Structure 1
């Protein structure tokens, strides 16, 4: 059977009130003992009955706990005005921060072009000045980024040109160091060679009119050739 919920109010019947007091007092002390054992806490409970009789429970010496409570209660009583002033200062600071946040939000909306209907001409001019200043800063930063990017690209271009020049010089050195095979000529003279056979001459045996020099000097050389 489910027990009904008891209404918390003074019990008018004296006998029932004494019985309830005895039961609840025992339950209170039992819970205090469990709390002290489970949580390793110092627990004390002091109860005065309606007739003025004292009932108490303490997990350790009652006098030491009362003395400790007196020290803490006096400390909190002495520090209470300071705590209240500190709380008031915190409340004032919180109000200032809320107002500042609201002002910044409204100002941001105006910079975004919202809520300009209630702005005066001076406020609109101030907003325009702020926007122009912000745009100038943004454009300056954008130009710096472009300049840095262009500098990096020019550096890469120089590296590629240097690499290309190095490859070309290497190819030229390899071509100069490659050995040249002697040139072999086949000369056929049917009038002077019997049977029409060809004579073989190497490049070192062939007489040519190759001449290195200025054009005028070459013409003089040709005119003196027999």
Structure 2
């Protein structure tokens, strides 16, 4: 029985020693990993400051050109995303317009009212001179009272 107790004590002592060594090894590994992460964070902060235009005094021409190219790629990506969002919003608004037009037509039919017809796009884009070709407008300049103007027009100046 004594032998069993001694074996147990040696085994637990070995396990504690091994656990301590493993724990110590894990601690060293975690400290090393934390130091590496701190270095990466510092490099990312420096890069961020450079992209924001801060601390560029120590940059070489090549570094400045790389930063410029990276910013141009970023702007291009941002513009592409913005255009995509605008297109999606336009499509949503067109769908909403169709739904509202259908609802309006249904309500007009229900009330027995003639639905409102929006003017054609072509008519809206034409200048007013092209829309009304036969407009008789007097562009003469008259000085004096309005009755004198009417007499002059009747008399033919």
TM range (shorter): 0.5 to 0.7
Map residues 84-95 of structure 1 onto 2, 5 A cutoff: 84-95=24-35
Larger helix percent: 2
2 CA distance for matches of 1:97 and 1:85? 18
- Normalised to the residue count of structure 2, the TM-score between the two structures is 0.58
Larger strand percent: 1
> When the two structures are aligned, how many residues end up with a matched partner?
111
Post-superposition Cα deviations, 1:178-217, rounded to whole Å, max 9, x if no partner, equal xxxxxxxxxxxxxxxxxxxxxxxxxxxxxxxxxxxxxxxx
1 CA distance for matches of 2:90 and 2:9? 76
Q: Which residue of 2 aligns with 1:124?
A: 64
Verify: 1:137 aligned to 2:91, yes or no: no
Post-superposition Cα deviations, 1:46-68, rounded to whole Å, max 9, x if no partner, equal xxxxxxxxxxxxxxxxxx99876
Q: How far off is 1:73 after superposition?
A: 2.2
Q: How far off is 1:69 after superposition?
A: 5.0
Instruction: Give the alignment's Cα RMSD to 1 decimal.
Output: 2.9
Q: How far off is 1:110 after superposition?
A: 0.6
Q: Which residue of 1 aligns with 2:39?
A: 99
Unpaired stretches in structure 2, ≥5 consecutive residues: 114-157
- Normalised to the residue count of structure 1, the TM-score between the two structures is 0.42
When residues 86 and 159 of structure 1 are mapped into structure 2, their CA distance, relative to the original with a 3 A threshold, is: closer
2 CA distance for matches of 1:83 and 1:124? 46
1 CA distance for matches of 2:92 and 2:79? 20
1 CA distance for matches of 2:92 and 2:21? 66
Q: Which residue of 2 aligns with 1:166?
A: 106
Unpaired stretches in structure 1, ≥5 consecutive residues: 1-63, 173-226
